[in-house]
Amino acid sequence: MLNVRLFQMKSFIPMPYEEALAPRLKIADQWLQSGSGKGGEFTGWVNLPRDYDREEFDRIRAAAKKIQSDSKALVVIGIGGSYLGARGVIECLCSPNYNLKKKDTPNVYFVGNGLSGDALYEVMELIGGQDFSVNVISKSGTTTEPAVAFRFFRERLVEKYGAAGADRRIYATTDKARGALKSLADRQGWETFVVPDEVGGRYSVLTAVGLLPIAVCGVDISGLMAGAAEMMEVCRRGGSDCPAWRYAAARFQLYHTGKKVEILGSFDPSFRFMAEWWKQLYGESEGKEGKGIFPASVEFTADLHSMGQYIQQGERILFETVVRMGPSGHPMAVPRDESDGDGLNFLAGRDMDFIRDRAMEGTLLAHSEGGVPNLIVETEDKSPRSLGQLIYFFEYACGLSGYLLGVNPFDQPGVESYKKNMFALLGKPGYEELAGQLKARLEN
């Protein structure tokens, strides 16, 4: 079971910190459990691992099988919460090099998560003449980046398979009733999956948003849900043994001692996109009303040779959370070299995990000595079950953290500002007045 350890924390925060915060944590926990806190209408993810729609889950598995059988590639179109979780899980459990591997499941390409023409063009080139399907994901059904990308890939599908053939290869994950994407899907007869009303984008990886692309890659999505359900039970019990309580309490205390930036680190490069997912989850949930810990991420040991300098000796506003997902699947012992020209025979026969673990201990000691407190999040292994636990743990701790901070952890009003400006500058009808003001400002 997932565990949170505080590494030599005594010199950074008063102990026992949970007791000091227990009354506030209890209230935050009650708000999450009852949906009675700020943004409570978006706490549908709290019981999702138990209450998820089994009929839809079976349809997700059936759709994944169909895509595996008729496509060499799946184009996943979405941004933010409609993208990062699926990519995080796929890279973590299958590999960041998933598309390059020999396998009997389709390649997966993520598009619509930016506005680069080159990126779109490249994916079209990579797919070439291969059979492909599209999973377009947008809760609102109106987000510009995925909507634009979808136009390109839909046109490609129609060219290749004809209008009716294209309709059989498009899977739309969106609101159950509202939005342009839902209307289009109904009109065209695309298979649709639902982003539940009460689950916000960044908490939606365990809905069809994440599960369909993840299942297409052959990951055991039942295992993912089972792990999340286990952690859900742990969080329901709460208390000082609950890892989400411990994590939320520690980071809250650290924030109030001036540690304004949390860096999430892992010694496993496959964790990179899980860290991106985590950054969105915490950044969008906490960063508002002039408050919030800034979430950043690093990849160890690579970043020890770049960001390591800042972490060790820069502004003392950092704390670090290291995620450790059990031993590697492939033991790799360092070869012996009789000439020992590189002087590395002291490591001969040692497994890479052994070396990594010593590097991790050395890093934690150095960073905490340098004034950067450390939290360690450990899972038993790198399996769907453990990742399900980790996802739910981070989500629950995020909800608690937002409430401890006094903000609504489920809205993102700040995301709208750039959208309004972009629409105005692109000439979207209805934004004429703003367009005039913005153009005048750009000219100054």
Q: Which of residues 129-148 bind ligand PA5 (CB under 6 A)?
A: 138-140, 143, 146
Q: How far is the CB of 439 from ligand PA5 (least distance, A)?
A: 26
Number of residues interacting with ligand PA5: please give it, by CB under 6 A: 14
Nearest-CB residue to ligand PA5?
201
Query: Which one of 201, 213, 243, 409 is in contact with ligand PA5 (CB under 6 A)?
Result: 201
279 a catalytic residue = no
Query: Which one of 37, 44, 49, 81 is in contact with ligand PA5 (CB under 6 A)?
Result: 81
Q: How far is the CB of 113 from ligand PA5 (least distance, A)?
A: 9
The answer to whether the CB of 409 falls within 8 A of the CB of 398 is: yes
Query: Which one of 21, 25, 64, 79 is in contact with ligand PA5 (CB under 6 A)?
Result: 79
Q: Does 402 bind ligand PA5 (CB under 6 A)?
A: no
Site string for ligand PA5, 92-131 (x = CB under 6 A): ----------------------------------------
Residue of 26, 291, 419, 439 marked catalytic? 419
Q: Does 200 bind ligand PA5 (CB under 6 A)?
A: yes
Query: Which one of 43, 71, 82, 386 is in contact with ligand PA5 (CB under 6 A)?
Result: 82
Q: Does 169 bind ligand PA5 (CB under 6 A)?
A: no
Q: Which of residues 256-275 bind ligand PA5 (CB under 6 A)?
A: none
419 a catalytic residue = yes
User: Which residues form the interface with ligand PA5 (CB under 6 A)?
Assistant: 79-82, 138-140, 143, 146, 200-202, 284, 412
Q: Which residues are part of the catalytic machinery?
A: 284, 419
